[in-house]
A = this chain, B = another copy of it.
Amino acid sequence: MTPTAPNKTAIVLIDCPDRKGIVAVVSDFLLRHNANILHADQHQDADLGLFLTRIEWDLSGFDLDAKGFAGKFAPIARRFEMHWRLEFSEVRPRMAIFVSHYDHCLADLLYRRESGELHCEIPLVISNHSDAQRLAEFHRVPFHHIPTGSVSKQNVERKQVALLREHSIGLVVLARYMQILSPQFVRRYPQRIINVHHSFLPAFSGARPYHRAFERGVKLIGATSHYVTEKLDEGPIIEQDVVRISHRDQLQDLIQKGRDIEKAVLSRAVRWHIEHRILVYAKKTVVFD
């Protein structure tokens, strides 16, 4: 199945103090450079006095390249104290997947990439076990086995980071990777590490969430995808979902039903990230649809 090639587009993501005239000035700027706006979405946080926007336009006819944009847009950005970044749809984000024993999220992500749903490159899979090697290779993704047992976390992460750099990785996806990353690692990839936690956070953060959900007798179980920060399971939440369970469901049933929502929330988060739909502020995410 070959999806139709999407148009080449540019996307600008902006956040700044909320003031009158931002939309008018930015849209006038884009018009003067002959942009054909395809999508525009904005959000104001009244409490924090913050304005956030995502604008996507067709590049055909647009008369600026990345460098030209930066130069011409600079005065506007200064005037409104903007944080901004420019992205291009034809630049496919480069993503590494970390995995341990459970490979359902890995299999799901690799399939979605292959079916054209995820527009990204996956130059490597890294695992502390070798189980997933055959799966990665079926999808023609190089597999790197970096065991964690007898070596220091520092050594392990040194190897991992070397690989990520070598392959110019911009996004690290923890697809049920059961090791905790060091603060040093996390700091290298701010808002660029996505994890899936197998509970409805903040409920059951930490270890063995399905066991604890089972013991507590909840009637729904959940999964959460979030950006990784130095505080375990406390990063900005990107997506959550739940599935109904009943007294008939044993622990094994929770684990199995949970797999489907883990796949769902992780793949949506990855998709939104690589489509440049997510802005983080105040420890929360805005997901522009």
Contacts and interface: CB of A to CB of B under 8 A. Distances in A.
A12 interface: no
A121 interface: no
Interface core residue of A202, A217, A256 (most chain B CB under 10 Å): A217
Contacts of A138: 134, 138
Nearest to A35: B20
Nearest to A225: B219
Interface stretch (A87-95, A161-169, A241-249): A241-249
Contact of A24 (B24, B43, B247, B283): B24
Contacts of A34: 20
A216 interface: yes
B102 A287 contact: no
A211 interface: no
Given A200-B220, A219-B237, A239-B219, A42 B40 contact: yes
Contact of A216 (B37, B219, B237, B287): B237
Given A107-B111, A216-B283, 7 more contacts: A20-B35, A23-B40, A24-B31, A27-B27, A216-B237, A216-B284, A219-B239
The 7 closest A-B pairs by CB, nearest first: A217-B284, A203-B203, A24-B27, A24-B31, A219-B240, A23-B27, A247-B286
11 contacts: A20-B34, A28-B28, A40-B40, A46-B250, A104-B115, A134-B138, A202-B218, A217-B285, A246-B289, A247-B285, A260-B264
